[in-house]
Structure 1
Amino acid sequence: MLEDIEIRGLGVIEQARLPLGRGFTAITGETGAGKTMVVTALGLVLGGRSSASAVRKDAERAKVEGNLVIDPAGTFATFVDEAGGEVEAFKDEDGEDRGAVVISRQIAKNGRSRAWLGGQSVPASTLVEGGELLVAIHGQSEQLRLTQEGAQRTALDEYGGEDAAAAIATLEERYDTLASLRAELERLSTSASDREAEREQLRELIDAVEAVNPEVGEDESLLQRIERLSNREQLRADIGGAHTLLAGEVPGGSLSDRVRDVRTSIDRGLRSDTSLDLAAENAADLEYAIDELAETLARYLADLDTDGVGELEALNDRLATLENLKRDHGKDLAVILADYEQAGIRLLELAGDDTRLPQLKSDVEDAQQALEDAATNLSEVRARAAEALQAEATEELRALAMPHAKLVVSVTPEANIRRHGRDRIEFLLEPHPGSDPTPLRTGASGGELSRVMLALEVVLASANPVPTLVFDEVDAGVGGAAALEIGARLQRLARSSQVIVVTHLAQVAAFADHHVRIEKSTSGGVTSSSIRELDESGRVEEMTRLLSGLTDSESGQAHAQELLRRAEEAGARVAR
């Protein structure tokens, strides 16, 4: 259950606390006061999409914090623990064990969003997953969505429960299997000439590679070797000169002789001053390094004199052969060798095509029949669910001042099977006996559509229960006696779930256990909204405003008090 929501810097709300509680909470306020921001805040703590535009103009960031009271041994407590969050244990006023959890969401001016669950930073997607266990939000956009076939199919399948879920999973698996087999059959059914052409190309590649027998990186190694042999005279001059400077006969003595003299001088000094021991060690190391470098260069010059005699022409011929292989196939040598490795495997696959095709055709026929069976089973499951759904929804309509109306859930199997089945699902309304059922999207008035959607939402909520239900102006287009029936139905629904309703109708708000008003004020050209929980007199005042537009109308006040009295009596009857 949501105990309250703290809102800061969101839209017209600078800072406010939305108190909630058990039962039915009604949220009212003038147009533009910020009722939409309250629903937005609810959506944010449930992982809804964030936008920098929602941040109040004079704020650096918006933050919404929802305080929850949960069953410490329930599913959501386990979810919080697995996400790394904490559930604070306490006992309620009845001495029952309860858990407290805080959900937080922050949006910065730059659009960056952060989320926390039980004190642990989490992705917003985690809040979405957790929110599905806690809250269902129903608004006018949901009403519009439920007039579309895809949403109606989803609603029916959700109502169908585990049977529908299992039938859908089986159908999706068989649909994917058939699609995979058909793709393979199409590939293997390519003309024999195309397959033979591929075989010929593969054989040519194998013959060409085996004739040359190259090694990975051989072309690069050859280039390096040819470069060395082609520049042998320059290398001899450069390296020979370096060797002469190190150890040869040069005016003033070679570098080896000079370093040896340096070492001798330092060794003499070491006999008089032992602090020169490090310098003497460095001089010795330098002498050894120069001698070793001189020997290395001498060996290189000796090898250079004998290396590659008569080899250069052969190297160039080998490189030309490799370059011809690369040019013929239009690829690097490494790619050609990789293709060569796969060519033999592919030839074996092609060789087996002729024997694979008959079996594959048989597999496709079997998979098609399995898909047909799965689609038929799903249609039967949906038909049973449709019958139960329309019966329950029709019963709800009777409680919503539509005693003669009937909801018809049509399930019509079609020829083609798609991944969601072959059924065309349509919700229709029969306003009164003898009338033709018409689609919800075209045949229902605004008021009728609101009541039909509330009936559906109530039935679907009972099939997939969540602790908290939020209705955003579900009473749009409704008034009079129908509005009273909607209020009474929400009151009954609140006996088993927490119900939060944004409404503009006094007839609905009268049935609430708690009434919250969103109030706006303007100061210095800046509009702000605050949230106030109403006491009994405040409720009468607010409902008078909703009824007549005037808070001090005596007739309006009398009407408001009458509504509250009737709602209280209805609630007492429900409680009994």
Structure 2
Amino acid sequence: MLQELRIRSLGVIDDALLELSPGLNVVTGETGAGKTMVVQGLGLLLGGRADPGLVREGSPRAVIEGVLDLPKDHIARQRAVDAGGDDDPEEPLLLARTVAEKGRSRATVAGRNAPVGVLAEIGEAVVAVHGQADQWRLKSPDQHREMLDKFGGDTVGEALAAYRTAYAEWQAARAELERLRGASRERAQRLDQLTAALEEIEAIDPQPGEDDELAAEAGRLEHQDQLREAAARAHNALVGEDDATGGTDVLSLVASARQALEQAAALDPRADELRARAHEVAVLVTELATDVASYLTDLDADPARLQVVQERRADLGRLLRKYGDSVTEVLAWSRDAAAEAATLAGSDDRIAELTTQLTALDDALAAAADELSQRRRHAGEQLASQVSEELAHLAMGKAVLGVGVESTPGHYTVHGIDQVEITLAATPSAKPRNVARAASGGELSRVMLALEVVTADGTIPTFVFDEVDAGVGGRAALDIGARLHRLAAHAQVIVVTHLAQVAAYADRHLVVHKQDDGHVTHSDVRAVEGEERVAELARMLGGGTGKAALAHARDLLAEVRSTAG
């Protein structure tokens, strides 16, 4: 609920604090006292358009502050936190709006500056304002549909949920089919490109690591003469060649050393270890010479091998320029391309599958849409009947409310195939018209009141009605008060009224007082109880403050209390 509303420097209001209660709060006062400023101030607090002309003359700015008492998990609290507010779930939610005389506007949510739009979002979740100039819920076709669906409860809700599930599946299948069909040319071109590339790679058949191996082999073949000469010199140095070294090759020198150590070992046992090591060196030299000879033989391989290696490297080079920096990357690209090609090649099969699936989904969606439409029509008949009955108690006894549900098969939206229109006929024989065009401002407020009474479910905690009783009086005004009191059993209701018959139903009666000090007129607001309230009701009844007027006011209160319980 809205606990407090403080208004400073707005219109004729200098500084007013409205302390509100649960149930029905009524705001009254003399003409021109500034009752409407209360509704306008609340509108500004809830994100309404700022009008610098509303700033009280002589003041730099108008300030409106509100205190909301909300459950810990209410969506408005979450929105405040999302906007950066320091909201404490254990404390009320604080909102503020400042409008400067030069037109600048600022919003504050839970102690932090925020866009004005955040106030509007919070306002939609906590307060429904119904003023003669602001019946947006009756002017919006989408709101007509949402109001009907809300009234339909689980019956309509279940059908709507089933429809939306079918709609989501149908949308997904249709989008995929359109994408596949729309990209058929690009898909064919891409498949041809991938196929040609894979055929090229398959023809060359690169092997992992082959590029590195061929690079090393090409280096050996290109320097074959130098390598052969070096290997021959090494082999000759190790083992000699036809005594050309004169016994100075490594193997001959090691043999001489071993022979000398054998002689020494015969004279000194300690020299035997050295002799053995000389033998090991001789073996190692022999093995090394054999390996060098083998390496030299390999260098005498087919001289045409260099051309073969170069040609192979050229083939691999073409692949590396197109598909990767190494054979490993080329092979990885090939695997990915093969998978993509398989997917593209299967697209025609997927198109056929989706076409068949979409036919079944069409049938399921049509059936779900038809079921939703039927339930909406049934709920619409009930809503129209109940609201028309309420209007009979709101000085609109001959008015007939209608709820039209016009379906367009095949025209699917996320909400179904229905256009919902709430209509109003002044009499049962008159032609129904859209309620926003068929009713005056006061009548729109009463239609909205009847709709709220019939559909109230506690989701909106606070309702505000401005001049809902315009153009009525007497017994009809009592009926309006009774309906407001009934709505207040489920939510907080704030009503600006000039009728005592409505004000008599209040749980809290607030009076806007106008004061004139001879130079400046200003207003404030205070709650009245007991005899003060009786006096205000007597004033509203037009009887002044005489004994008869006061008695009349007391009789009115007694009558209301007996009927309201």
Query: In 2, Cα distance between the equivalents of 1:163 and 1:375?
Result: 14
Cα distance change of structure 1 residues 441 and 560 upon mapping to structure 2, 3 Å threshold: farther
* Pick aligned residue for 2:163 from 160, 171, 180: 171
Quote how far apart the aligned CAs of 1:451 are. 2.9
2:128 to 128, 133, 136: 136
1:479-532: CA deviation from partner (whole Å, max 9, x where unpaired): 444333212322343345432101233442343343323245567976643213
Seen in structure 2, the aligned counterparts of structure 1 residues 152 and 558 have a Cα distance that, compared at 3 Å, is farther
**Could you list the per-position Cα deviations for residues 550-575 of structure 1 after superposition, in whole angstroms to 9, with x for gaps in the alignment?**
x9597xx9568635522431222321
Instruction: Give the Cα–Cα distance (whole angstroms) in 1 for the partners of residues 335 and 552 of structure 2.
Output: 88
Matched, 1:146 2:138: yes
Is the CA contact 2:449–2:484 (under 8 Å) kept in the aligned structure 1?
no
Conserved in 1, the CA contact under 8 Å of 2:130 and 2:448?
no
SS at match of 1:478: coil
Q: Is the 8 A contact 2:10 2:55 kept in 1?
A: yes
Aligned to 1:359: 353
Work out the number of aligned pairs and report it: 433
Return closer, same or farther for 1:457/1:186 CA change in 2, 3 Å cut-off.
same
In the other structure, the counterpart of 1:48 is 47
Residue 22 of structure 2 corresponds to residue 27 of structure 1: no
CA distance in 2, matches of 1:348, 1:160: 50
Higher-Rg structure is 2
Cα displacement (A) at 1:431: 4.5
Matched with 1:304 is none
| C-alpha separation in 1, matches of 2:88 and 2:358 | 52
Distance change (3 Å), C-alpha of 1:493 and 1:351: closer
Give the distance between the partners of 1:80 and 1:202, measured in 2 at CA: 52
Matches within 5 A, 1:231-242: none
For 1:312-331, list aligned pairs within 5 A.
Answer: none
Residue 355 of structure 1 and its aligned partner are, at CA, apart by: 1.4
Indicate the residue corresponding to 2:59 in structure 1: 58
- The amino acid of 1:48's aligned partner reads G
Does residue 180 (structure 1) correspond to residue 172 (structure 2)? The answer is yes
Mapped partners of 1:52, 1:449: distance in 2: 24
The residue aligned with 1:392 is 386
Contact 1:447 1:478 in 2 (8 A): no
Q: Separation in 1 of the partners of 2:481 and 2:541? A: 15
Q: Is the Cα–Cα contact under 8 Å of residues 510 and 564 in structure 1 kept in the other structure?
A: no
CA, structure 1 residues 343+8, in 2 after alignment: closer, same or farther (shift >3 Å)? farther
Counterpart residue type for residue 358 of structure 2:
V
Separation in 1 of the partners of 2:2 and 2:447? 27
Match of 1:474 in 2: 468
C-alpha distance after superposition, 1:408-448 (max 9, x if no partner) = 32333332232211123222335445555444244445554
The answer on whether the counterparts of 1:474 and 1:503 sit within 8 Å (CA) in structure 2 is yes
Among 528, 550, 570, the residue aligned to 2:560: 570
Gaps of at least 5 residues in structure 2 are 205-316, 323-332
Judged with a 3 Å threshold, the aligned counterparts in structure 2 of structure 1 residues 565 and 395 are, in CA distance, closer, same or farther, namely: same
Deviations 1:387-422, CA, capped at 9 Å, x for gaps? 332232233223324445443323333322322111
Report SS of the residue matched to 2:392: helix
Give the drift of 1:151. Answer: 1.7
Distance 2:334 2:552 in 1: 90
The percent identity for this pair of structures is 40
Give the aligned partner of residue 408 of structure 1.
Answer: 402
Residues 107 and 115 in structure 2, CA contact (< 8 A), matched pair in contact too: no
Determine helix, strand or coil for the equivalent of 1:419.
coil
Name the counterpart of 2:376: 382
Which secondary structure does the structure 1 equivalent of 2:401 belong to?
A: strand
Q: CA deviation at 1:358?
A: 0.8
Bigger mean CA deviation after superposition, 347-356 or 516-525: 516-525
Residue segments in structure 1 that go unaligned for 5+ positions in a row: 89-99, 212-320, 327-338
Matching residue's letter, 1:107: T
Q: TM-score, normalised by structure 1?
A: 0.61
8 A Cα contact 2:156 2:372, kept in partner? yes
2: CA distance, partners of 1:192 / 1:134: 51
How far apart in 2 are the matches of 1:204 and 1:525?
A: 94
How many Å apart are 1:375 and its aligned residue? 0.9
Give the Cα–Cα distance (whole angstroms) in 1 for the partners of residues 78 and 192 of structure 2: 62
Query: How far 1:194 moved relative to its partner?
Result: 5.5
What's the secondary structure of 2:135's corresponding residue?
helix
Other-structure match for 2:493: 499
- Does structure 1 retain, via aligned residues, the 8 Å contact 2:442–2:467? no
**Structure-2 change in CA distance of 1:502 and 1:479 (3 Å):** same
User: How many Å separate the matches in 1 of 2:182 and 2:127?
Assistant: 54
CA contact (8 A) 2:127 2:460 kept: yes
